[in-house]
Structure 1
Amino acid sequence: MPLTIDRIHSNECIIGIIGMGYVGFPLALTFVEAGFPVIGFDIDQKKVEAISKGESYFKHIPESRSREVFSKKLLSATSSYEEISKCDAVIICVPTPLDHHLEPDLQYIIQTAEAIAPYLAPNTLVSLESTTWPGTTEEVLLPLLEAKSQRRIGKDLYLCFSPEREDPGNKKYGTKTIPKLVGGVDEESLSLAVALYSKAVLHVVPVSTTRVAELAKLFENIFRSVNIALVNELKLICDPMNIDVFEVIRAAGTKPFGFMPFWPGPGLGGHCIPIDPFYLTWKAKEYGISTRFIELAGEINRSMPKYVVSKVQDCLNYYSKSLKGSRILILGLSYKSDIDDMRESPSLELIHLLEKKGAICDYHDPLVPEIGLSREYNDLAGRISQPLSSNYDCFLLATAHSSFSKDEIMSYAVPIVDTRNFLPKQRLVFTA
């Protein structure tokens, strides 16, 4: 039966979501809560099994929510793409990493398109949510789907781009309340996509083209990357001047207009800010444009872990210890506080850099009991979170979880390098 706006309004369509990660899983829960049957697709059998039992595998998504959704009997999961044939709408939420040359790697989008295309039923709506360079939907995804499905976009298939805006752990905004951008390759695709997302998301914002939606997502994260680089550079300036950069930012933040505070840290983490800007710098080269501002921000942010390592060395030197052979406990492995997301976490890079210099590194993170597999740091997989103890030469606080007890951390009388302005300024605390 063709997908129509009337069928969407009456919740008669089945939604397939490919990729049950930090984007796809909460999106699936949100659509089920709106009354739609959803089939989740993932190559990770552990996620498929967890969904089939009504379990949450993310700490920031309560088990109670997963079980309540499971009780509606509208959510199923599979690793077989044959189930795509049952879907009226297919939403693609797969990773878009960078390769070792900081260039876009679209292999997961391409592999997904090739895998699902033979099973797409007539008049299916396909929506891409993966962050990518402007033009991907029309230049890469569209021809792939048409070639592999033997169908035509605008005739018996519909296509749109609607960038994910997930912020794991954000207690104020979630999938339902974050405004949703949507751009279609034609008017029918746009109208169907707006109707579909409007059933689950409170505010849907249509834009004129898929390219506008693609670039808007990149710009959002480039804005953050550039401003974080600015405060990171400010931190480097404040250090030799013996000025507290956090006090400076708080002071500037008293201005009620024209200023937005950003905070320095040990480096960038998460899938978005460290990666997304380079999707635009790569595409800009096609037009002969050099994005020096964006690339400089990336260089500054990528250099921060090395700066932090130098501060660890300074801390140990103060106590007449060498970095080589010293035992370092990194506090916080996830890329930001109160979540278990390790994607692009600077803590992982800090372990690598410190161990290259001969340090012996452990980590302590109640939200990450064990390091799993990752694209860049598979050699760290299997390491276990260690308890706080006085058997270390230095604590390196990289992520400020709210569950961390300041008094307990200080009680071990171990020198601490604090990258998050988390601890009170005392004799043992070195800022970085």
Structure 2
Amino acid sequence: MPFYFMLKGKKIILGITGSIAAYKSAVIVRLLIKAGAEVKVIMTPPATSFIAPLTLSTLSKNDVLFELSENDTWSNHVMLGRWADIMLMAPLTCNTLSSMASGACDNLLMAVYLSATCPVVAAPAMDEDMWLHPSTQKNIATIKSYHNEVIPVNSGELASGLTGQGRMAEPEEIVAWLEEWFKKKVQLTGKKILVSAGPTYEAMDPVRFIGNHSSGKMGIALAEECRSRGADVTLVLGPTVEKVPAGMTVKRVVSASEMYDACTSIFPSVDIAIMCAAVADYTPVTVAPEKIKKSGETLTLELKKTADILKRLGELKKEGQFVAGFALETTNEKEHALKKLQQKNADMIVLNSLKDAGAGFGHDTNKITIFDKQGNEHHFDTRPKSEIAADIINTLINVAHA
């Protein structure tokens, strides 16, 4: 058996629900304990029909819990939810998945899940028709939107006797997934990272501005991904209503000039800069001191170029620093992205095309191609921006170490 170095000393809650795949949970517990983890098992009452709590308590060396109270003693779900480094739901049934998506709380496991301050990962187990049902897939998407992770199901022989998708990942696969997850948590420890996100608003007068449709979702997802891997993150954020996760320094700005000043002042102290913001290319030459009144059939505005933040960071870049930029294009996408990579002295450019459905401003999903200085192209199909953020950071780490 391989030794999972990252699991040593980790505190793990294993939630077991009423599936025939519950028999595999004993192997999961055994592997985690052998890796040096501390495991507490919580079961739904139906799960106890599939595997005996005694078996799991013997393997985990901890009492197995499945009732909110027992012998006049309350199972403190709040403290359980705060105790763990990660909560693993394996197997996750269709019923408990639905409860996770809706927030229903009718057993101890769900009470702990809703109280958990740690990350949660689920390993679904169900028959193929149940797995592929639109309501199940919607619930999977919903719990992912809550920042829960989902370990992909396998294809194979199912309890129904059929063969297809829905089989829970094998215990060894699940434990290996946890090992990789904990590795990622420390990949960027000690690194200082600057991320820019959102639009800029260029004032015409005290009321009106020139802006764009950027929501800041992609940049915020990147900042959160970096933070989750142990980095010290500073997020320079333009005007947006999007919520920013805790655990990072946020510098809010409005105009391109403010974003330029913030990024160039912070950059010398960081290891990595990811310029994801949609910065205005032009700004009004003069800003009217009072609201411009409607008069005449036309209004002429004189605009001037804004300072190029990415280019300036490329000029300031010292040995050991890494600069990544974004390119949102509508024509000749690859040509323009490669030109930007070279002219801005960036190490990596992330290309979006507004021609791709589900990509670009305002969407919860994105589709990207990454170009690096070594001449490589990395393509990623349409996925949630949180997953695209992980793809970008994985690529950045690989390119930086190439």
On whether the aligned pair clears a TM of 0.5, the verdict is no
TM-score by length of 1: 0.28
- Bigger fraction of residues in strand: 2
Task: Give 1 or 2 for the bigger CA radius of gyration.
Answer: 2
